[in-house]
Amino acid sequence: ALARRLRAAADELRPSPPRVARGHARTARGGRRNDDDEGNEGNEGNENDGFDFAAYPSRHVALRVMYAGWDYRGFASQGAEQDGVRTVEEALFRALKRVRLIAPDATWKTCDYTRCGRTDAGVSALGQVVSARLRCRVPRRDDDDDGDGGDEIDYPAVLNRALPRDIRILGWTYVSPAFSARFDCEYRHYKYFFTDWNGLDVSAMNEAASAFVGEHDFRNFCKMDARNVHNYRRRIDSCRVVVNGPDSEFVRV
């Protein structure tokens, strides 16, 4: 079911039609796009094609990312460009550079990149969030309330033309320069699917799952990050084991 939803969503987000020669084009978000200043968006180009990234303003933007992860070795970069290991994050960074939303030599630190979390090899996501300082058309003012972004670059349309079809940008928003996709996250929602091979005792599994609900110290279940993390207590709002439909062979947690 999850695979079907991912593929269906990807099919609905087909690349935008070619830009008109001049004037304004309507974006997927309903804003207006001035083609006179977007001649470079979506072009592959290279680092020496004369595009001066420093000549453009930039803003902190959060992106909502969906991906089908079965062909990737997880979300987080693992030095994939050197090792030949495919990760979603490396594909995303390549696309950001290709459409010149970040500089060709940008690193996580220089573009203030943060991610909400990691996923393992083969795991998919419908609502991963990342943030970075991206090239923009609407500079931020000191008294700016962020506005509605109506005249901004259509980040989903631009990036989806450059990304593999199993990675899609679903939405975006301006965020504060201090925003962290990791530490400003309010909650995470996970679903695990597995096959009911031998008639699992779902009732007993639910009884065991209920022990996770509440606030607990999870320091023994995570990588120690003393520089950034000082509180290892987390609250589990719900943990349930559900048969995925009356005739389904799958159980989800």
Tens-digit pLDDT string for the chain (253 aa): 555 665 555 555 443 333 323 333 333 343 433 333 343 444 444 444 667 888 889 999 999 999 998 899 888 887 645 567 889 999 999 999 999 999 998 888 999 999 998 888 888 998 899 999 999 998 887 655 556 567 899 999 999 999 999 999 999 999 999 999 988 988 888 888 877 767 788 889 899 999 999 999 988 887 777 677 778 888 999 998 888 766 666 677 6
The strand ranges marked E within 109-222 are 114-115, 125-135, 167-174, 193-195, 214-217
CA angle 172, 174, 177 (to 5 degrees): 130
- Which pLDDT belongs to residue 11? 53
Q: How many helices (H) and strands (E) does the chain have?
A: 5, 11
Bridge partner list, 58 = 135
Please say whether the beta carbons of 14 and 21 come within 8 A. no
> Residue 57's pLDDT is what?
92
pLDDT of residue 52: 82
Annotation says 145 is catalytic: no
Angle 18-67-5 from CA coordinates, rounded to 5°? 90
- Can you give the pLDDT at residue 1? 53
pLDDT given for residue 161 in this prediction: 95
- Phi (first) and psi of residue 60, to 5 degrees: -80, 125
Specify whether the CB–CB gap between 134 and 173 falls below 8 A. Answer: no
Q: How many residues in total does the chain contain?
A: 253
* Separation CA 152–CA 30 (nearest Å): 11
Instruction: Spot the catalytic one: 49, 120, 148, 201.
Output: 120
Cα 161 → chain centroid? 15
- How far is 41 from 157, CA to CA, in rounded Å? 10
Instruction: Of 49, 28, 60, give the one whose Cα is nearest residue 159.
Output: 28
In angstroms, the CA 128 to CA 190 distance is 11
Burial of 20 (0-12, 13-18, 19+ CB in 10 A): exposed
Q: From the CB of residue 229, how many other CB atoms can be counted at a distance below 10 Å?
A: 13
